[in-house]
Chain A
Amino acid sequence: MSVPEGNPSNLLSSYDPGLFFDELFGRMDAPAEHTALIRQRLAALDFEELRRRAMNAERELFNLGITFLVYSNKNAVDRILPFDIIPRVISAREWAHLEAGVTQRVAALNHFLQDIYHDQKILKDGIIPAELVLGNANYRPQMVGLDVPFNTYIHIMGVDLVRDRHGTFRVLEDNGRVPSGVSYVVENRHMMQRVFPDLMQDIGIRPVDNYGHKLLEAMMEIAPGDGNDPQVALLSPGSYNSAYFEHIFLAREMGVPLVEGSDLVVENDRVFMKTTSGLAPVDSIYRRIDDAFLDPLAFNPDSMLGVPGLLEAYRKGNVALANAIGTGVADDKAVYCYVPRMIKYYLDQDPIIPNVDTRICREPDALQYTLDNLDKLVVKPVGEAGGYGITIGPRASAAELEECRAKLLADPDNYISQPVVDLSVCPTVTDDGIEPRHVDLRPFAITGKSTWVLPGGLSRVALKRGTLIVNSSQGGGSKDTWVLEGSTP
Chain B
Amino acid sequence: MNLLARYAECIFWMARYMERAENLARILDVHETFARDMRGATNWFSIVQLNADEKDFFSRHEKATAEAVIQYYMFDDHPNSLVSMLRMARFNARTLRPWISTEMWTQINMFHNRLLEMESKDVALPNLSKLCTWIKEECQKHTGITEGTFYRDQGWYFYQLGKYIERADQTTRLLDIKYHTLLPSPIDVGSTLDVSQWTSVLRAAAGYHAFRRVYPRGMSPTTVAGFMLFNEGFPRSVVMCVRQMDGLLTRMKSRYSLRGGNEAMEEVDELLGALLSRPIEAIIREGLHEYLEWVQEQLVAITNEIGFAFFGQERPPMQVQSQSQTQP
Contact = CB atoms under 8 A, between A and B. Distances in A.
Interface of A: 62-65, 231, 239, 244, 248, 251-252, 257-260, 262-263, 273-278, 280
20 contacts: A63-B110, A64-B102, A64-B109, A65-B105, A65-B109, A239-B94, A251-B98, A257-B2, A257-B98, A263-B4, A263-B5, A273-B4, A275-B5, A276-B3, A276-B4, A276-B8, A276-B158, A276-B260, A277-B2, A280-B2
B154 interface: yes
Interface in B45-86: none
A274 B314 CA distance: 13
Instruction: Point out which of B4, B7, B91, B109 has the most chain A C-beta atoms below 10 A from its C-beta.
Output: B4
A263 B9 CA distance: 12
B258 interface: yes
A275 B97 contact: no
A50 B224 CA distance: 59
Contacts of A65: 94, 97, 105-106, 109
B251 to A, nearest CB: 14
Q: How large is the interface on B (under 10, 10 to 19, 20 to 34, 35 or more residues)?
A: 20 to 34
B106 A274 contact: no
Given A64-B106, A239-B91, A259-B4, A276 B97 contact: no
A252 B7 CA distance: 14
A481 B17 CA distance: 40
B234 interface: no
B97 A273 contact: no
Contact of B258 (A231, A248, A257, A276): A276
B3 A275 contact: yes
B123 to A, nearest CB: 23
Contact of A277 (B98, B158, B256): B256
B5 A274 contact: yes
Contacts of B8: 276
Chain A interface, DSSP helix/strand/loop, else mixed: mixed
Interface in B105-125: 105-106, 109-110, 113
Contacts of B257: 277
Contact of B106 (A63, A275, A276): A63
A258 B3 CA distance: 11
A399 B9 CA distance: 56
Given A63-B110, A65-B109, A275 B2 contact: yes
B127 to A, nearest CB: 24
Nearest to B259: A277
> DSSP class of B's interface residues: helix, strand, loop or mixed?
helix
B298 interface: no
Contacts of A273: 2, 4
A288 B109 CA distance: 24
A283 to B, nearest CB: 13
B310 interface: yes
A70 to B, nearest CB: 15
Contact of A248 (B98, B110, B310): B98
Contact of B6 (A63, A231, A244, A263): A263
Given A277-B257, A277-B259, A278-B259, A262 B95 contact: no
A276 B5 contact: yes
Nearest to A233: B4
Contacts of B113: 62-63
B297 to A, nearest CB: 25
B312 interface: yes
A458 to B, nearest CB: 21
B158 to A, nearest CB: 8
B6 A260 contact: yes
B98 A274 contact: no
A62 B312 CA distance: 34
A274 B154 CA distance: 15
Contacts of A248: 97-98
Residue with the greatest number of chain B CB neighbours at <10 A, chosen from A62, A64, A277: A277
Point out which of B2, B106, B311 has the most chain A C-beta atoms below 10 A from its C-beta: B2
Contacts of B106: 63-65
A159 B184 CA distance: 74
Nearest to B94: A239
A342 to B, nearest CB: 37
A258 B158 CA distance: 18
Nearest to B158: A276
Contacts of B6: 260, 262-263, 274
Given A65-B106, A251-B98, A274 B312 contact: yes
B43 to A, nearest CB: 37
Nearest to A245: B97
Contacts of B311: 276
Given A239-B91, A277-B257, A252 B98 contact: yes
Contacts of A274: 4-6, 312
A92 to B, nearest CB: 32
Given A252-B97, A257-B2, A263-B5, 12 more contacts: A63-B106, A64-B106, A239-B95, A248-B97, A259-B4, A262-B6, A274-B5, A275-B5, A276-B4, A276-B5, A277-B259, A277-B260
Nearest to B90: A65
Closest 8 CB pairs of A and B: A251-B98, A248-B97, A275-B2, A276-B310, A258-B98, A252-B98, A274-B5, A280-B2
